[in-house]
């Protein structure tokens, strides 16, 4: 199958391509970017005039709910949603039920994703058995089974010595360690950022120090263990500064932020609006601005969806008891592009944070449009205005504060290994 995408504007930060160019695909791989090869006769030609042609997105944090919570969502439903969001590869944390702490679990998740045929799923293996923070997992075997890193999910390894050993062991095999730095004691039963809003609404709070203490500990352990590490979902201005300094001193650490942290603050919670309940919590304008600045200067490499689909009733509860998280796969790209439109982020930086950078973090050959490489491609109409509505979503989770909003920029087509995994139906 040969495909020609003509007339589009190719944005491929990994190859420093940012111009109008045709893209030729043959046998699932990129054949050329630019002038068509003589004699290239496509079976299908896609007119991408006025469209942007990007590498397929790689999302470093998406919960698929399978295994264990199939009533909320499945690998099939969520990988289809990912494809609709232009995502061709995604990373899922190991905090499923059962936990991904054996090669069999990792294989099962990858097999199910493959048989669905939408986006590729790259599981994270558990750092400790059952995420209990006590015994190390068979990390090398998990890596053999396709785990692109190890993580303890949102559960902190409380014992610092075990954490250090886990990181040392992972570094033995150069397996990336995904960290969610939160001090569990300071986090307590908190549900919102500690500040003006928690005080006014009387909600249990998570202080900034819950994150900075966690980041300080983890940075110290990265330094002593040498483990290639990824700090997931940073939320505080102070921790951006700490990571910046650590990176300047050469620590092998990369960082991601959830897209909603770049757009929202604690004020959006208003009157106990549970749609805005996320962990780490939405923080202040100062924090949001510092996170954006971090993306701009490269301290934060990656923007991810932190996709967490829930059933319809999960958010219909008092704030403290409502479910946590946003179903974000299908809004990741348009929301990121909103930062480009408003002049906050240059286009190439935004696209890199969704493609080449996350691919580099997990060491996969993706996130670029290099001839010879896999044809993972997202074609987006940057001017398409559309209303984000539950009935247009492919995800089973309809829990998003962006529902009902007009978004600008819509994925028209997603190709994984040269095969269309999503095509927007034209009305």
Partner 1 sequence: MSDSRSIPSDSAIQFDSHGRLRHFLTIHGMPRETLLGILDTAESFISFGQREIRKVPLLRGKTLVNLFFEPSTRTRTTFEIAAKRLSADVINLSATRMSTSKGETILDTVRTLEAMHTDMFVVRDSASGSSHLIASHLPPHVRVINAGDGRHAHPTQAMLDMFTIRREKGGFEGLRVAIIGDILHSRVARSQIHALGTLGVDEIRVIGPRTLIPTEIEAMGVRAFSDMRAGLRDVDVIMMLRLQRERMEGQLVPSEQEYFSRYGLTEDKLKLASPDAIVMHPGPINRGLEIASSVADGEKSVILSQVTNGIAVRMSIMATLMGGTDRENGPVTP
Continuous segment of H or E residues that includes residue 123:
strand 120-123
Helix (H, G, I), strand (E, B) or coil at 326: strand
The tokens describing 386, both together, are 């559309």
The tokens describing 321, both together, are 């008891």
Query: Site mask, partner 1, residues 337-366, x = CB under 8 A?
Result: -x---x------------------------
> Which residue number, 276 or 422, has a Cβ lying nearer to partner 1?
276
Residue 319 binding partner 1, by CB under 8 A:
yes
Q: Which region holds residue 173: left if phi is over 0, alpha if psi is between -120 and 50, else beta? A: alpha
> Which of 200, 249, 391, 426 forms a contact with partner 1 (CB under 8 A)?
200
Residue 205 binding partner 1, by CB under 8 A:
yes
Residue 196 binding partner 1, by CB under 8 A:
yes
Catalytic sites, residue numbers: 306
- Using CB under 8 A, count the residues that bind partner 1: 32
> Which residue number, 69 or 138, has a Cβ lying nearer to partner 1?
69
> Which of 2, 272, 289, 424 forms a contact with partner 1 (CB under 8 A)?
272
Q: How far is CA 169 from CA 62, 134, 136, 231, in A?
A: 26, 14, 9, 18
DSSP 426: P
**Stretch of 8-16, 236-244, 262-270, 373-381 lying at the interface with partner 1 (CB under 8 A):** 262-270
> Which of 33, 64, 81, 203 forms a contact with partner 1 (CB under 8 A)?
203
> Which contacts qualify for 207-211: CB closer than 8 Å, 24 or more apart?
208/236, 208/238, 208/283, 208/287, 209/183, 210/182, 210/183, 210/186, 211/181, 211/182, 211/183, 211/235, 211/236, 211/238, 211/239, 211/280
The tokens describing 358, both together, are 């996350």
Shortest distance in whole angstroms from residue 314 CB to partner 1? 8
**Stretch of 13-21, 45-53, 224-232, 267-275 lying at the interface with partner 1 (CB under 8 A):** 267-275
Residue 273 binding partner 1, by CB under 8 A:
yes
**63 preceded by cis ω (within 30°)?**
no
List residues near partner 1 by CB under 8 A: 194-196, 198-203, 205, 207, 263-265, 267-268, 270-273, 288, 313, 316-321, 335, 338, 342, 405
């Amino acid at each position: 199958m040969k495909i020609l995408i003509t007339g589009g504007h190719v944005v491929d930060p990994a190859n420093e391509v940012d111009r109008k160019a045709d893209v030729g695909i043959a046998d699932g791989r990129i054949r050329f970017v630019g002038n068509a090869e003589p004699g290239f006769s496509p079976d299908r030609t896609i007119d991408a005039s006025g469209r942007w042609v990007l590498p397929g997105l790689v999302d470093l944090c998406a919960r698929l709910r399978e295994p264990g919570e199939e009533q909320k969502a499945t690998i099939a439903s969520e990988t289809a949603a990912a494809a609709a969001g232009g995502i061709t590869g995604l990373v899922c944390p190991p905090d499923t039920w059962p936990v991904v702490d054996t090669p069999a679990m990792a294989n099962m998740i990858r097999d199910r994703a493959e048989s669905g045929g939408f986006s590729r799923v790259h599981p994270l293996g558990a750092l400790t058995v059952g995420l209990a923070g006590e015994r190390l997992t068979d990390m090398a075997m998990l890596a053999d089974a396709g785990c692109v890193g190890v993580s303890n999910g949102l559960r902190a390894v409380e014992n610092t010595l075990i954490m250090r050993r886990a990181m040392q062991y992972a570094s033995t095999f150069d397996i990336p360690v995904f960290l969610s730095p939160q001090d569990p004691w300071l986090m307590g039963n908190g549900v919102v950022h500690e500040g003006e809003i928690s005080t006014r609404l009387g909600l249990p709070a998570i202080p900034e120090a819950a994150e900075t203490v966690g980041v300080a500990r983890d940075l110290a352990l990265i330094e002593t263990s040498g483990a290639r590490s990824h700090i997931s979902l940073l939320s505080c201005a102070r921790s951006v500064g700490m990571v910046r300094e650590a990176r300047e001193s050469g620590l092998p650490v990369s960082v991601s932020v959830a897209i909603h942290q770049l757009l929202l603050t604690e004020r959006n919670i208003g009157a106990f609006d549970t749609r805005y309940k996320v962990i780490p919590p939405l923080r202040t304008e100062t924090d949001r601005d510092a996170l954006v600045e971090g993306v701009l200067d490269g301290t934060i490499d990656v923007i991810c969806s932190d996709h967490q689909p829930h059933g319809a009733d999960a958010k219909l509860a008092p704030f403290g008891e409502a479910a946590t998280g946003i179903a974000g796969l299908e809004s990741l790209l348009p929301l990121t592009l909103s930062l480009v439109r408003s002049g906050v982020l240059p286009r190439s930086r935004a696209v890199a944070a969704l493609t080449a950078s996350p691919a580099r973090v997990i060491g996969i050959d993706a996130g670029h449009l290099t001839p010879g490489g896999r044809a993972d491609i997202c074609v987006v109409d940057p001017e398409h205005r559309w209303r984000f509505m539950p009935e247009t979503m492919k995800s089973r989770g309809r829990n998003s504060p962006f529902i009902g909003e007009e978004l600008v920029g819509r994925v028209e087509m997603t190709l994984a290994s040269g095969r269309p995994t999503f095509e927007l139906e034209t009305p």
